[in-house]
Amino acid sequence: MHNIMDEHILSIVRSCSRDEQSYQTLKQIVNILQGERDHYRKYMDLLERAVRNDYEAIMITEASFEGSDPVIAFVNEGFSRMTGFGREEVAGLTPRILHGKKTDQSVLHQMRQKLMDGESFFGETVTYRRDGTEFVNQWDVHPLKDQGGEITHWVSYQQDVTQQRALEQHYNSRKREWDNLSEELRNITALLDSEGRLLEATPAFRDLIQSGSGELEHLRFQDLLFDSGRSRISDLFDEVKKFGAQGLEFNLTLITSQNKRVEVSACASMIRRDGEARIHIRFRNSGLRQRVDELLQAARHRSLKLNGRPTAV
């Protein structure tokens, strides 16, 4: 390809030469220019390969904000693959070709201010491909200076981080659910007197039995139990007194205000409060196990989907 092109150029040079001497002179000049061209082609290819592992795309723009956005001077093949815009297609245009309704203007303003101050900028926002599909674009922008120290261009290293942000959002969502479950498991407690009357109950316990704080007043713990558990609760309290602070573990079925059954495991222990013996019970909702299993299954399915792996139907 290069040889054909060179011969074509030389034929043009010969047609423009006055004589053999001028032809030889022009030929030397052409050879020098072609050598420099090939050198810079190799240099640009090396540059692109050097950053390929860290960034998908490179954009170089002219360093000017006067009257309009800076003009695109160069993009690499990675930019075309990431955005769908051809290299020749974007020459002379501005980075606004990537902007749309979800592009965060405050991020663009911060970047503009940084660059105008001659500083680097690192950030990200939603941008758009040629076909209109959106993606999260992460920028690492740096000024390019000439030998005199003047900024002539800005180089922007760009990367599509859509999948990473989706995974982070998925993780944060699941973490909130786990935190809520953990908080619920930790705080389902009630305080009884020696006769089984409810003295205190956490909001999580009231949520468990679907009752307001006022509805628990003057109730005995026996009143919240399914019929089969009421007959043995007095003996259970006697057992708790024997175990003291060590605690006694057992299983019960509670009845909610909506007359629904809730299977729970409990640990009851004797404590001293204001000089009186009290029974402190910490509950664990056995029904939460199903929620935990569902949460694990949903997390696994979502993770496989985001990583492009097939999921079981």
What is the average pLDDT value for the chain, to the nearest integer?
A: 80
**pLDDT tens digits, 193-214:** 878 888 888 888 888 888 876 7
Which residue has better confidence, 231 or 141?
A: 141
Q: Is the pTM of this model over 0.75?
A: no
What is d(CA 244, CA 248) in angstroms, rounded to the nearest whole number?
Answer: 8
Residue 277 amino acid letter: A
- Tell whether the model's pLDDT for residue 1 goes beyond 50: no
Q: Is 130 helix (H, G, I), strand (E, B) or coil?
A: coil
Instruction: Quote the pLDDT of residue 83.
Output: 95
Element (H, E) at 267: strand 261-273
What is d(CA 38, CA 171) in angstroms, rounded to the nearest whole number?
Answer: 48
> How does DSSP classify residue 119?
-
Confidence of residue 301 (pLDDT cuts 50, 70, 90): low
Lowest mean pLDDT of 18-27, 75-84, 115-124, 138-147, name the range.
Answer: 18-27
Which tokens is 75 given?
A: 């993009």
Q: What's residue 4's pLDDT?
A: 46
CA–CA dist 182, 227 (Å, integer) = 30
Sign of CA dihedral 132, 133, 136, 138: negative
The pLDDT-based confidence of 259 (bands split at 50, 70, 90) is confident
pLDDT for 6 beyond 70: no
Nearest to 117 by CA among 147, 151, 148: 151
> Could you tell me if residue 135 is left (phi over 0), alpha (psi between -120 and 50 degrees) or otherwise beta?
beta
Single out the residue of 54, 82, 56, 59 nearest to residue 69, CA to CA: 59
Which band of pLDDT confidence, cut at 50, 70 and 90, is reported for residue 297? low
